[in-house]
Structure 1
Amino acid sequence: MHEMIHDFTHTWVGIAVLLVFVIGYVMIAAEEKFHMNKAKPALFIGTFSFMLIGIYFAIEGLNPGPLHHEMKNLIEEIAEIFFFLFVAMTYIETLIERGVFEALRFRLVSRGYSYKKLFWITGILAFWISPVADNLTTALILSTVLLTIDKNKPEFLVPGAINIVVAANAGGAWSPFGDITTLMAWTAGKGEFKDFLMLFPASLIGWLVTAFLLSLFVPKGEPHFDVYTTPKVSIKKGGKVVISLGILTITIAVLGHIFFHFPAMWGMMFGLSLLQLYSFYHKIKHKEHFNVFVNMAKVENDTLLFFFGILSAVGALYFLGWLFYITKLYEHIGSTWANVGVGFISAIIDNVPVMAAILKANPPMGIDQWMLVTLTAGIGGSLISFGSAAGVGVMGRMKGIYTFGSHMKFAWTVLAGYIVSCLIWYVQFEIMGIY
């Protein structure tokens, strides 16, 4: 457990920062109502909180050394994940520009598959793509595929959308870079690469339970596809090479972290340099230029800034002593029940600040419990439609079809999968000791 630097929870700055966080988070949670991107209030509360702490230290004449030390540590923690995500998003945008996902979508809709088969194919793809890409991008791409298949079939679209969200979150939970929360836990040193892979059985079986129950409501028959009016889509030149470079980049990041103890973002940045060099070679050989810097401009900077802001805000709460109460909660009810409860909390509150708070509080737990909270924070957001970035993204893509209400009709299927995942974890980690 980290040594708490000070306890400022009963001072005016402690109360003020907590109040700023609560008000700011209300603005974040209600971004659709206020029509304001969540990155704006997140960035404000993260930076303003430390401004208030600085003012307090100046007024009270306190030594700023501990504050400066905490801010430097925080910058390092955020930078590791920030640049990792930045490179991953750049690769995704490059794959989109090269038509990789469009080609995938065309192949799916042109094969004449039944609704049930398409339901399972899109779910399987979501489960396997999200560990490499992120769960939000995976869910957005495959929900677009669903709409392309048949936009006038809600009895197919709603179960299919829930299946994609659950599969994307479950797939991201067992990969250190499949979800922001798992990436946070990995870079914080809460487990080695192989430890996260041990969550595969719980993630897979939990998703399969939900998918099976949802499949019972998928209609029979096949969607209409007119081969004569739908133009064929193929991957552009260089697209397959970019796929290979993306896999190589992830591999280098993982191996560098394992063998050299480098930050994972270092290998990712090296992979970005390889992509830049290949784009130059591609221009010379094929007389066609795909500009990686243009693809960088398409990266969702609001997501990165939200991440920076919310982690800064949580860092401020930690410095002031508020997160000490989380460790007391863990001591009171026990790590297992507390970590299972994290899944339900992350369905209501975004899992990023929840995971950030737990990592900062750093309750004394073994690898088994850190893997449990990684699992529950990752898959718990699927319980409610807006409980995860993947769910929010699909709601935006399928407006009026995939809604809070339509999700809650099938929420019991997601809950069943969540319970099974936790049981699988218990049997594997606590009874059999396989991790």
Structure 2
Amino acid sequence: MLRILSMLSLTSALAMASGGDAGGAIPDLTFTWVGIAALAIFIIGYYFVAMEEHYHIDKAKPALLIGTFMFMLIALYYSINGLDMNLVHTQAQHLILEIAEIFFFLFVAMTYIESMIHMGVFDRLKYNLVSKGYTYRKLFWVTGILAFFISPIADNLTTALILSTVLITIEREKKEFLVPGAINIVVAANAGGAWSPFGDITTLMAWTAGKGTFVDFLFLFPASIIGYVITAFLLSKVVPDTVPEFDITKEKKPEMMAGAKVVMGLGVFTIFSAVMSHQVLHLPAMWGMMFGLSLLKLYAYKLKRIHGLGHFDVFSSMSKIENNTLMFFFGILAAVGALYFIGWLALASVVYEPSVLGPTWSNVGVGFLSAIVDNVPVMSAVLKASPEMAHSQWMLVTLTAGVGGSLISFGSAAGVGVMGKLPGVYTFGAHMKYSWTILIGYIVSIAVWYVQFEMLGFGA
């Protein structure tokens, strides 16, 4: 139990990792009334997030409520006790910056997805896949493999959004295909992103923090793909081996709208701009995404001049974005940020001491925490704590933070994105039904890392 509590304390240093540097000394409020109240509010709110399917309440509602309310309680406590209100203001500003980077990144990615849906890109892709006579099981493998190899380039969130859209255009009713298919895409996108320096926000953070070179992350490929394949193999057993109802003689081949290929190209360039903005220009990744959005708007203007008003409207695509996904991210990151500010997460680096857990077990625990909270703030906390450990251990924590986020449906940006694309289908409960397959793949990934890095010294 002590070890579990120690690992849970790692959650605290998470979401506001960059915020702790600002201002003066932050008082420890953990065992004050506001500290205990905030922890209780977080646990209760998290319960309703997890039980979304049971209570039929969108996960964004409890997340947004606890995230905003916890910080307001902290501000009230500071005001009542005459503490430095500038600390609250500064920490809130840091948190807003952190959330904004994710928020606008998601916003642009979703806009491109909705634009491609409007232009018939996914209907055409569905036709190309289903018209080949593939069974549901083959389609399961095709979408998963595509997600695994697209994710290292396009990032795991964008990949998951694209492939889940393909999934829902193939089949809208059959849950025995949609649920394992959605889990497969999330696991594949997260595993694929783990071995690329810019395939996941967590790997991007580790790379920019100097914890490994570009080539170092590529050595995680064996652990990533073997763990994914194990999970996919187990999941595939519950997918129907029947062919979707599709009569090629009756189905008209869908045509993409004029300009669709250019929009696809702009989408790829937008991801490239995001990576270059962060790596070369030292701007937030969302800066490149917003630049890509501006190009999409300019191109939409050109299409309007050529084809008329009804052809393509970017603002129409924006109106179809799953705002609940964005609100969920805001709420959950704000809530974890409040726990950090109060001091619940201040013991993060203690678990890395050999007398407690040591680096290997702590890094394995990071994967489970990534599933509970979200892998971005978890990795942020580890990097801020910067415990003394070998290069191989930094590769392990990169692997576990990325892959471990798949253990729970909202443990990663990819999972949250797919939940938004398949509401009522891909839920917390549906995911947990098959979470044992992900756990087995997670354990296999760690075992492959151990053999490769610790026993053979390959990539260490």
Contact 1:114 1:223 in 2 (8 A): yes
Aligned length: 430
* CA deviation string 1:134-187 (max 9, x = no partner): 354245324325536xx6694x66765553343233234345665565577678
Q: CA deviation at 1:126?
A: 2.5
CA distance in 2, matches of 1:390, 1:220: 26
1:340 alignment partner in structure 2 = 364
Pair 1:7-2:28 in alignment: yes
Map residues 416-435 of structure 1 onto 2, 5 A cutoff: 416-430=440-454, 432=457, 434=459
Task: List runs of 5+ in structure 1 lacking aligned partners.
Answer: none
**2:333 pairs with 308, 311, 320, which one?**
311
Instruction: Quickly say closer, same or farther: Cα 1:299–1:174, change in 2 above 3 A.
Output: farther
1:322 aligns with 2:347: no
Query: 1:396-418: per-residue Cα shift (whole Å, max 9, x none)?
Result: 9497899958974x655433322
Alignment of 1:290-309 (within 5 A): 290-309=312-331
Kept in 2, the 8 Å contact 1:134–1:178? The answer is no
Q: Hey, what does 1:248 align to over in structure 2?
A: 269
Unaligned runs of 5+ residues in structure 2 are 1-16
Q: Do the aligned residues in 2 keep the contact of 1:94 with 1:292 (CA within 8 Å)?
A: yes
Aligned to 1:79: 100
Q: Does 1:270 align with 2:291?
A: yes
| Matches of 2:76 and 2:410, distance apart in 1 | 36
The alignment status of 1:231 with 2:256, answered yes or no, reads no
Please give the alpha-carbon distance, in whole angstroms, between the structure 1 residues aligned to 2:294 and 2:320.
18
2:168/2:178 contact within 8 Å kept: no
- Give the AA of the match of 1:320: I
Give, in whole Å, the separation in 2 of the partners of 1:276 and 1:168.
28
Instruction: Check conservation: 1:146, 1:157, Cα contact below 8 A.
Output: no
2:189 aligned residue (168, 184, 196): 168
User: CA 1:206–1:142 in 2, change beyond 3 Å: closer, same or farther?
Assistant: farther
- The Cα of 1:277 is off from its aligned counterpart by 0.5
- Shift in Å, 1:344: 3.5
Is this contact kept in 2: 1:158–1:407, CA < 8 A? no
- Specify the alignment match of 1:31 in structure 2: 52
1:205 positional shift: 2.4
Q: 1:208 to 1:321 in 2, by over 3 A?
A: same
CA offset at residue 381 of structure 1? 4.4
What's the % identity of the aligned pairs? 57
Q: 1:66 to 1:116 in 2, by over 3 A?
A: closer
RMSD in angstroms over aligned alpha carbons? 3.6
2-structure distance, mates of 1:51, 1:153: 41
Match of 1:203 in 2: 224
Q: Which residue of structure 2 lines up, in the alignment, with residue 415 of structure 1?
A: 439
Q: Is the 8 A contact 1:395 1:403 kept in 2?
A: no
* Alignment partner, residue 378 of structure 2: 355
- Which residue of 2 is the match for residue 144 of structure 1? 168
CA distance 1:138–1:421, change in 2 (3 Å): farther
Aligned residue in 2 for 1:50: 71
Q: Which has the higher contact order (CA 8 A, sep 6+)?
A: 2
Asked if the contact 2:182–2:426 (Cα under 8 Å) also holds between the matched residues in 1, the reply is no
Q: State the Cα deviation string for residues 24-52 of structure 1 (Å, max 9, x = none).
A: 21122122223222222222222222211
Structure 1 position 425, deviation (Å): 3.1
Is this contact kept in 2: 1:176–1:193, CA < 8 A? yes
**Offset of residue 427 of structure 1:** 4.6
**Aligned partner of 1:237: which letter?**
A
- Aligned 8 A contact 2:103 2:326 in 1: yes
**Residue 364 of structure 1 corresponds to which residue in structure 2?**
387
Gap change, CA 1:189 and 1:20, over 3 Å in 2: farther
CA distance 1:394–1:25, shift in 2 (3 Å): closer
Deviates more, 1:2-11 or 1:103-112: 2-11
User: d(CA) in 1 for partners of 2:194 and 2:85?
Assistant: 39
One-letter amino acid of the structure 2 residue matched with residue 258 of structure 1: Q
The one-letter amino acid paired with 2:330 is F
Structure-2 separation of matches of 1:248 and 1:385: 29
Q: 1:68 to 1:383 in 2, by over 3 A?
A: closer
Asked if structure 2 preserves the Cα contact closer than 8 Å seen for 1:207 and 1:417, the reply is yes
2:9: which partner in 1? none
Distance of 1:160 and 1:123 partners within structure 2: 8
- Paired with 1:196 and 1:351, the residues of 2 have a C-alpha distance of 21
Partner Cα separation in structure 2 for residue 354 and residue 319 of structure 1? 13
Cα distance, 1:398–1:228 mapped onto 2, change above 3 Å: farther
Structure 1 CA distance for aligned equivalents of residues 164 and 313 of structure 2: 23
Alignment match of 1:375 (pick from 392, 399, 418): 399
Tell me the alpha carbon deviations over residues 223-261 of structure 1, each in whole angstroms, 9 at most, x when there is no partner. Answer: 553112222112221111111111111112212222221
